[in-house]
Amino acid sequence: MRTRKKNQAEAYRSKFEKRIASALSGAGVSFSYEDMRLKYTRVCHYTPDFILGNGVVLEVKGFWKPSDRTKHLMVRRDNPALDIRFVFQRAKNTLSKKSKTTYGDWCDKHGFLWCEREIPISWLQ
């Protein structure tokens, strides 16, 4: 868990927060400051590239942005019955210049089926 250093001189992120804290203290109100961390989900929409007659969702990728990879993990988490498969122009592309992980490796790690350039006949049935 990430913690932030707080010393007395810089206990608040803004002068306004400090002023509100002083007002709360002056009123005798018990309070804590930034002691809770909450998760929230962003509501977004995903539009698949292709949906086959058998229900398989095909996502066709040339360049694959990091934000798209995160998006697909969230889409699958929120729609577990959806069968998303990737068709890569070049599956041996690495995730970044510094990474050794390829697009195909990423899919294998996260349990997505994938192919390169040509769609397998078995996916179409």
| pLDDT of 1 | 45
- Identify whether 96 is part of a domain: yes
Asked whether residue 54 falls in the same domain as residue 31, the answer is: no
Residues 84-96, mean pLDDT to the nearest whole number: 96
Give the mean pLDDT of 50-71.
95
Range of the domain at 9: 1-38
Query: Average pLDDT of the chain?
Result: 90
Q: What is the pLDDT of residue 9?
A: 52
Q: What's the number of domains the chain is made of?
A: 2
d(CA 5, CA 72): 35
- Please report whether residue 18 resides in a domain: yes
Per-residue pLDDT at 56? 97
- 44, part of any domain: no
Identify the pLDDT of residue 86.
Answer: 98
> Does residue 43 lie in a domain region?
no
Least confidently predicted of 35-39, 55-59, 63-67, 69-73 = 35-39
Tell whether 97 and 62 lie within a shared domain.
yes
